[in-house]
Amino acid sequence: MKYTNPTLPIEVRVNDLISRLTLEEKISQVFNISTEIKRFNISRYDWRNEALQGVAFVDISTIFPQVIAMAATFNEKLIESVASVIGDEARARYHEFARRGRRERWTGITFSTPNINIVRDPRWGRCQETFGEDPYLTSRMGIAFCRGLQGSHPTYLKTSAEPKHFAVHSGPEKYRHEMDISVSKKDLYETYLPAFKACIQEGNAQGLMSAYQRLYGVPCSASKLLLQEILREEFGFEGYVISDGGAIRDIHKYHKVAKDHSQAAAMALSAGCDILNPLNIMTTVKLNRLKKSVLRAIQNERITEEVIDTALRRTLKVRFKLGMFDPPELVPFTKIPYTVINSKPHRELALKCARESIVLLKNENSVLPLDKTSLDSIALIGPNANNPEAMYYPHYYTNPPPIVTISEGIKTKVKNEIKINYAKGCELTTRADDWNLALEFAKSSDVIIAVFGLTGNLEGEEGYVIGETTGDRTHLRLPTIQEELLHQLEEMDIPLILILTSGSSIATSQNASAIIEAWYAGCEGGNAVADVIFGEYNPAGRLPLTFYSSIDELPDYEDYSMENRTYRYFKGDPLFPFGYGLSYSEFDYEDLQVRQDTLKENENIELKVNVLNKGPFDGDEIVQVYFKRNNLPFRVPVHQLKAFKRIHIKNNHTEQVFFTFDSSHFKNVNEKGQYVLEPGKIEILVGGGQPLNEMRNILSAKIEIK
């Protein structure tokens, strides 16, 4: 049989296998639970798995910093390495479980990851799962993650990446199953689609997950505009599409554009959705009922058998690439030992990622780093100081490895040299019994380290917001009880270091001596925070999303227009801007040179800048390049990120940094959604952050588009 011959082209093998299947057998393979077909040695396979910050759910894995924290590293190579390790652990677990005969959900190697939706509003509970608000940064990080997960073997995939949710999705979570979104063609192509295009064309993503909601009145999982015209015809995607969990049900139950599951399934399959993904793990009885509904769609001539064959060609091609039909000795990833999971090298990489993700937001009078020799006591206060769930997303990681909390990291760092006076003071949303003790400790200590913020139990996926519960946020502030305790700590005449844990923007008081955004920092997050506090690591993370002062500055949450949203279109003064982050060193930008001052279609320009670390520490700097152009007949961003590089510079040393841009980088999206290269002047701005009034050392040069 040709399909069993590894030397033949995959297309030949796939077509051969499809030709041998009965219609009922074919239908059994279009659901996320692809059932076993013994006569062809086709194993049962569940396509659903997650890997946002490590392999999720049923087994232990290394937990890396949450995705928003990965974005804060501005380090593509690092994130590709992280994703590669996640892929290794996935493979090790998959083959070990297969040896045990376990093939249930969450044991596979096809991942609904990365989440490359754009954060248009920080109220969205899933901001933490994304790479932030900028299409370019999201694109670069998404490409890196796809490449890391899938590997670079010439024949076999390590795993399959499925960027999600296609497309135009970022809350509200409460209405995602029923809402209809309409956006301008400009916003669609300028903001919501670039990362998907990049992950497909540069990241070579093999899969893609569709979204729940409707776009222009049509459910995304049954949209020929999205899944055929844009995805396959414009972007050239040749992989498979899997619906989000329950999205096919939504077509008839909530969107009410189909009368039953049979019609909904026909709409999705004919539009180009290849795997129908039920909401929950299916019993055999329920799955058989769904299979019959697809068979009924064929019998009623809503779809043809060829539509099923087309879906199978896409999905089986990837299963062949994953080596599922080949002898294990031919597939290199079968040799990855189970012992790599949560191994020392993997945790060291998690520590490196956590360190690079930490953003220093404030450091008044250089209170940080702390000098251990000058301190006798530290008051460690707050609900997240010793809370493991402030380090990861507990809804996805139900079997976490040992988690180093911030309290544990600090105690390990100081050993017995400094007395640590620890008290929570409050829980996340309620007063704790040791409230008064926390205040007493604060008053009697040399310095206060307050660890406040959120967890995945306050912001997350599809929570129905009733006060402060899981899901979307109703405001950007800390929970009320935390604000009250923080205010009392600020009134003391004692240095106060505020550490925030969150997956999105927090509008908090600026009265602390120092503020650190630690995100959800993963299994080694406590050690990383301690390294920054005591100067063993010089922070260099940058914000991948804007920190606003209040939701009063933002448009209506349900409005998907980008007007007055994100740094590219925001008209106010942010609390902390996108791309912002401090260091223990000071960096100067000098001698910006652009090789030419004019550019035509299909030409390149080269840019060079010198960056000096004035000390007093060695450290990383994130060089950012923004383009500014406000002289076009259609709406354009105030300025937008076009390139970045994270570089390490020794104290009192200078590094030269080079960038090359081709003419496509200078194109803007017009109101028709078209990328156009318009004649006129463009300003190129280079520095350690956005070109804002308060930013020093922003260099600029102008070129003219001919």
Q: Note the pTM of the prediction, 2 decimals.
A: 0.97
DSSP 656: E
**What pLDDT is attached to residue 468?**
44
pLDDT digits (tens, 9 = 90+) for 178-193: 999 999 999 999 999 9
Same domain for 610 and 670, yes or no, is yes
Report the chain's terminal Cα–Cα distance, integer Å.
Answer: 60
**What pLDDT is attached to residue 466?**
35
pLDDT at 464 exceeding the cut of 60 = no
pLDDT digits (tens, 9 = 90+) for 295-342: 999 999 999 999 999 999 999 999 999 999 999 999 999 999 999 999
**Which range has the worst mean pLDDT, 209-223, 418-432, 465-479?**
465-479
Q: Which residues of 101-120 are buried (b: 16+ CB within 10 A; e: fewer)?
A: eebebbbbbbbbbbbbbbbb
Give ∠ CA 578-702-601 in degrees, rounded to 5. Answer: 95
695: pLDDT confidence band, cut at 50, 70 and 90? low
**What pLDDT is attached to residue 702?**
96
Element (H, E) at 497: strand 496-501
Does 282 map to a domain? yes
Q: How many residues does the chain have?
A: 706
Same domain for 404 and 550, yes or no, is yes
**What pLDDT is attached to residue 395?**
87
Between the alpha carbon of residue 9 and those of residues 14, 41, 309, 549, the distances in Å are 9, 19, 18, 57
Does 154 map to a domain? no
95: pLDDT confidence band, cut at 50, 70 and 90? very high
Give me the domain span that covers residue 602. 587-705
Domain finish residue from 312, 337, 362: 337
Same domain for 292 and 375, yes or no, is no
**What pLDDT is attached to residue 696?**
66
pLDDT at 469 exceeding the cut of 60 = no
Question: Of 286, 295, 290, nearest to 276 (Cα)?
Answer: 290
**What pLDDT is attached to residue 467?**
42
Same domain for 564 and 668, yes or no, is no
pLDDT digits (tens, 9 = 90+) for 543-576: 999 999 999 999 999 999 999 999 999 999 999 9
Domain finish residue from 281, 308, 337: 337
Mean pLDDT estimate for the chain: 96
* CA–CA gap between residue 246 and residue 276 (Å, rounded): 8
396 and 419 in contact (C-beta within 8 Å)?
no
pLDDT at 542 exceeding the cut of 80 = yes
Same domain for 325 and 208, yes or no, is yes
pLDDT digits (tens, 9 = 90+) for 239-298: 999 999 999 999 999 999 999 999 999 999 999 999 999 877 678 888 899 999 999 999
Same domain for 404 and 524, yes or no, is yes
471 and 463 in contact (C-beta within 8 Å)?
yes
Domain finish residue from 273, 304, 337: 337
630 and 60 in contact (C-beta within 8 Å)?
no
Does 109 map to a domain? no
Same domain for 296 and 395, yes or no, is no
**What pLDDT is attached to residue 300?**
95
pLDDT at 664 exceeding the cut of 60 = yes
**What pLDDT is attached to residue 694?**
61
Give ∠ CA 458-463-464 in degrees, rounded to 5. Answer: 115
Q: What is the mean pLDDT of residues 489-501?
A: 97
Does 582 map to a domain? no
Same domain for 351 and 472, yes or no, is yes
pLDDT at 35 exceeding the cut of 80 = yes
Strands (E), 24-112: 33-34, 45-46, 110-111
Same domain for 594 and 533, yes or no, is no
Strands (E), 31-140: 33-34, 45-46, 110-111
54: left (phi over 0), alpha (psi -120 to 50) or beta: left
542 and 70 in contact (C-beta within 8 Å)?
no
Question: Of 366, 347, 369, 367, nearest to 358 (Cα)?
Answer: 369
CATH number at 673 reads 2.60.40.10
19 and 26 in contact (C-beta within 8 Å)?
no
Same domain for 482 and 458, yes or no, is yes
CATH number at 488 reads 3.40.50.1700
42 and 22 in contact (C-beta within 8 Å)?
no
Structurally, the chain folds into a number of domains equal to 3
> Measured on CA atoms in the order 363, 365, 367, 371, is the torsion positive or negative?
positive
Does 185 map to a domain? yes
CATH number at 306 reads 3.20.20.300
Does 122 map to a domain? no
Same domain for 170 and 293, yes or no, is yes
**What pLDDT is attached to residue 42?**
94
Does 114 map to a domain? no
DSSP 275: B
463: pLDDT confidence band, cut at 50, 70 and 90? low
User: Quick check: helix, strand or coil at residue 189?
Assistant: helix
Same domain for 190 and 314, yes or no, is yes
Does 112 map to a domain? no
pLDDT at 5 exceeding the cut of 70 = yes
